[in-house]
Amino acid sequence: MTAGGPRRPGLSIVMPAYNEEATIVRAIRSAAAAGEGLAETYEVIIVDDGSRDRTAECVEAEARANPRVRLVRLPQNRGFGAALKTGLKAAGMPLVFYTDSDMQFDLEQIRALLERIDGCAIVVGYRVNRQDHWMRKVNAWAWARLQRVLFGLRVRDIDCGFKLFRREVLQDMPMRSEGAFISTEILLRARARGHALCEIPVRHYPRTAGSPTGANLGVIARAFRELWALRRELRGAP
């Protein structure tokens, strides 16, 4: 597919959201515009992870105006991994894309991922000039090095929230992580099944509202627990 080329048969756009009242309407409309331009049919799936603000109400209002928008609501906050895998399992289109709902990406860049999906089962974005606090960048570097040492996973930006899958990659895939380890788990399980991935650069923008939760100590501790659990599983330990 080239710029201005034929649209794809179907595209699911999955966006986990937690307390994103300030940006969620803009995110939904951006996703809908991308879906309209890139696919013959599309759906926008917002997974509200037990938000305490008006995120869910905003999504419901958008869904009334656009029937291709769907809200999946978790009754309590379970973590990014739980929200993401809920959305991925709910996706029904041949191609499944996910991103964050904090508007740090231009969704027109989905076009570049679609141009590569015929040559590999997964297209993974990596952030160019990442617009995050320096400490988050250091943590991300250390986390990526750990994945490389423990699993041999050589991916530039494992946790970049800009990935596209062929739907068959995700079907019947067990996803056990509830937290930040979910991105690594999905890539490792896909690799174990022989699915090839490719990487492309994507532009990244500063967060303008809301607060990231990735540096929370509880989130980090959960990620390490899930990491060791999957490592034991892949090595065949009880």
Average pLDDT over residues 132-161: 79
Location of structure tokens 């960048």:
137
Domain encompassing residue 91? 11-234
Residue 3 lies in a domain: no
Residue 6 lies in a domain: no
The number of domains in the chain is: 1
Contacts of residue 156, Cβ cutoff 8 Å, sequence gap at least 6: 124, 126, 144, 199
Average pLDDT over residues 95-104: 94
Q: CB-hemisphere CA count at 13 Å for 90?
A: 22
Residue 5 lies in a domain: no
Whether the Cβ atoms of residue 42 and residue 70 lie closer than 8 Å to each other:
no
Residue 203 lies in a domain: yes
Q: Are strands 95-99 and 69-74 parallel, antiparallel or unpaired?
A: unpaired
Average pLDDT over residues 120-144: 80
As a whole-number percent, the residues of the chain with pLDDT over 70 amount to 89
Residue 69 lies in a domain: yes
149: number of Cβ within 10 Å: 9
Which CATH number fits the domain that encloses residue 143? 3.90.550.10
**CA–CA dist 233, 238 (Å, integer):** 7
Residue 196 lies in a domain: yes
Residue 4 lies in a domain: no
Average pLDDT over residues 176-201: 91
Residue 163 lies in a domain: yes
Supply 17's token pair. Answer: 């959201």
Specify the pLDDT at position 42. 98
Q: What is the pTM of this model?
A: 0.86
Specify the pLDDT at position 235. 74
